[in-house]
Amino acid sequence: MNANQIRAGVVAAIQDVAPEVDAGDLVDERPLRDQVDLDSMDWLNVIIGFHERFGIQIPETDYARLGTLNDIVAYLGGRLP
Amino acid sequence: MLSEFRMPALGADMEEGTVAQWNVAPGSRVKRGDVVAVVETDKGAIDVEIFEDGVVREIVVQPGVKVPVGAVIALVEREGEPATLAGAPPSPAAQRAKISPAARARARELGVDVESLQGTGPGGAITREDVERAARPATAPAAAKPVAEEKAGEGGMREAIAAAMSRSKREIPHYYLAEPVPMRRALDWLRDANAQRPVNERLLPAALLLKAVALALQDFPELNGVYEGGVFRASAAVHVGVAVSLRGGGLIAPALHDVADKPLDLVMRELADLVRRCRAGGLRSSELADPTVTVSNLGDQGVEAVFGVIYPPQVALVGFGGIAERPWVDKSGVVAMPALTATLCADHRVSDGHRGALFMARLRDQLQRPEAL
């Protein structure tokens, strides 16, 4: 899976939780939670969405590494087989 | 005997609803708790449950028709009771309105004829709210006729919220208390618990806060219940209304039932499900009608403290601000402590600041023993 495919999956998981998000409006380098209104329940559901789409369990201690879309794509890309 | 199934009052701010869909037809057998209809309100589409066993005899209000709260929308023959023959004169007992003395006094004060009202309280009893609704000139009488005016989207919800909050501030003498709560033990416990859980079974601090509120309330009945018709009724169960913001704007606070009696895992699962249904649809009428207290958690938005407005007919709201590290003095001196500010706004008609302060201390102590939640 290449970075573009991972990004598409990440955005789809975010849109499952926040359907008002337009994929074209997301800036890859900006903190995600500055761009999308996500409370802690939403964020947990996004993490669950990543797990369902990519089969990766993300420990809570790694949440701080998932600040931007670029961060998330790199994190997931580094753990996919 | 035929029973009148009425448009329910799904909170103090609801005056009318549109039957969007019937899940039953004449002849359908229903039992208590069945979702028999979907009603469109200012808060979205709500699944409406029935509260008795029986057989549907007539659909009175067709889909698409908006009617006031209390209007008869269907007739149901109660289980084991033959239908009263059409045209048979009602008994004197049936003719007399069920109404509390306080509501009757209010009706006299406002010049409302109680015999013309249809009650929305337990067993069809006329409540003080029914009387006041009937007295408002802009409100249609409680009869099954369509309401012409259309309100849609957040505009309608915003009006409904404004109406309920205005009534709250007008009628309820609020008092406010705030308490800083150290959260290190709770967060450490949560971190260890979540480290052993798959992602879809993890707990959020919100679940701990809800459970702690519910447990603490068990010893403070004057903060958990409803004030109607000039009388406060404490609730044995703690049904926590959870304030949930909607993505399109607006707010809804449906009940998590019996929170004090449920294990934390179940509270978390039900919270996740409730939030999902608030946003995607599928709330049930009992969830909107049953809260005995409200919890508003705005910590994710980064505010320090919440100064709420009580949602009538409840008498208290507990607020939580964000968890952040603060300078904290303990035995070793000044340390950095993760902490939040908990607030209570409560109704002076029912409680006073002394009891409120004791409740806040109990809440703080509950959160220092997360393993007991």
Which residue is listed with tokens 């409803």?
Answer: B226
Interchain contact, A60 vs B198, CB within 8 Å: no
Query: Residue B73: which of B117, B17, B31, B13 has the closest Cα?
Result: B17
Instruction: Report the C-alpha gap between B117 and A24 in whole angstroms.
Output: 55
pLDDT digit string, tens, across residues B306-363 = 999 999 999 999 999 999 999 999 888 999 999 999 999 999 999 999 999 999 999 9
pLDDT for position B281: 81
pLDDT digit string, tens, across residues B140-195 = 334 333 443 444 456 678 888 888 899 999 999 999 999 999 999 999 999 999 99
pLDDT digit string, tens, across residues B89-117 = 333 333 345 565 456 656 666 767 666 67
List the single residue in B198, B248, B272 with the smallest CB-CB distance to A41: B272
Architecture of domain B161-372: 2-Layer Sandwich (3.30)
Q: Is pLDDT of B6 > 50? A: yes
**Under DSSP, is residue B165 helix (H, G, I), strand (E, B) or coil?**
helix
List the single residue in B200, B204, B248 with the smallest CB-CB distance to A41: B204
pLDDT for position B124: 63
A68: left (phi over 0), alpha (psi -120 to 50) or beta: beta
Which residue is listed with tokens 């609803």?
Answer: B17
CATH numeric code, A3-18+29-77? 1.10.1200
> Measured on CA atoms in the order B166, B172, B175, B176, is the torsion positive or negative?
negative
List the single residue in B199, B276, B301 with the smallest CB-CB distance to A57: B199
Residues A10-31, mean pLDDT to the nearest whole number:
91
> Chain A residues with CB inside 8 Å of B299's CB?
40
Q: In chain B, pLDDT over 90 holds for what percent of residues?
A: 61
The CATH topology of domain B2-150 is: OB fold (Dihydrolipoamide Acetyltransferase, E2P) (2.40.50)
Q: What CA dihedral angle connects B359, B215, B370 and B367, to 10 degrees?
A: -20
Whole-complex ipTM: 0.85
> Measured on CA atoms in the order B13, B16, B22, B27, is the torsion positive or negative?
positive
Instruction: Report the C-alpha gap between B54 and B32 in whole angstroms.
Output: 9
Instruction: Report the C-alpha gap between A77 and A2 in whole angstroms.
Output: 8
pLDDT for position B86: 38
Beta strands B2-6 and B29-30, pairing class: unpaired
pLDDT for position B100: 53
pLDDT digit string, tens, across residues B16-45 = 889 999 999 999 999 988 999 999 887 778
Q: What is the pTM of this model?
A: 0.77
| B248 lies within 8 A of chain A by CB | yes
CA closest to B298 among chain A residues: A39
Query: Residue B9: which of B316, B315, B349, B313 has the closest Cα?
Result: B313
Residues B128-150, mean pLDDT to the nearest whole number:
52
Q: Is pLDDT of B292 > 50? A: yes
Domains in chain A: boundaries: 3-18+29-77
Count CA atoms within 13 Å of residue B57 on its CB side: 19
Query: How far does Cα B205 stand from its chain's mean position?
Result: 22
| Residue B68 and residue B147 in contact, taking contact as beta carbons nearer than 8 Å | yes
Q: Is pLDDT of B250 > 90? A: no
Instruction: Report the C-alpha gap between B221 and B217 in whole angstroms.
Output: 7
The DSSP output letter for B239 is -
pLDDT for position B133: 74
pLDDT for position B209: 98
Interchain contact, A37 vs B272, CB within 8 Å: no
List the single residue in B191, B199, B247 with the smallest CB-CB distance to A20: B247
Instruction: Report the C-alpha gap between A33 and B195 in whole angstroms.
Output: 23
CB atoms < 10 A from the CB of B186, how many? 24
pLDDT digit string, tens, across residues A23-66 = 889 999 999 988 998 999 999 999 999 999 999 989 999 999 99
The DSSP output letter for B140 is P
Q: In chain B, pLDDT over 70 holds for what percent of residues?
A: 83
Domains in chain B: boundaries: 2-150, 161-372
pLDDT for position B88: 36
Interchain contact, B206 vs A40, CB within 8 Å: yes
pLDDT for position B139: 38
Q: What is the CA radius of gyration of chain B?
A: 22
Q: Which residue would you say has higher pLDDT here, B11 or B115? A: B11
Mutation target to probe the B interface, by most B beta carbons within 10 A, among A39, A61, A62 is A39
Query: Residue B279: which of B256, B313, B245, B255 has the closest Cα?
Result: B245
In angstroms, how far is the first alpha carbon of chain A from the final one? 9
Q: Which residue would you say has higher pLDDT here, B223 or B105? A: B223
Least confident of A39-43, B267-271, B276-280, B354-358: B276-280
Residues B282-290, mean pLDDT to the nearest whole number:
90
Instruction: Report the C-alpha gap between B154 and B67 in whole angstroms.
Output: 20
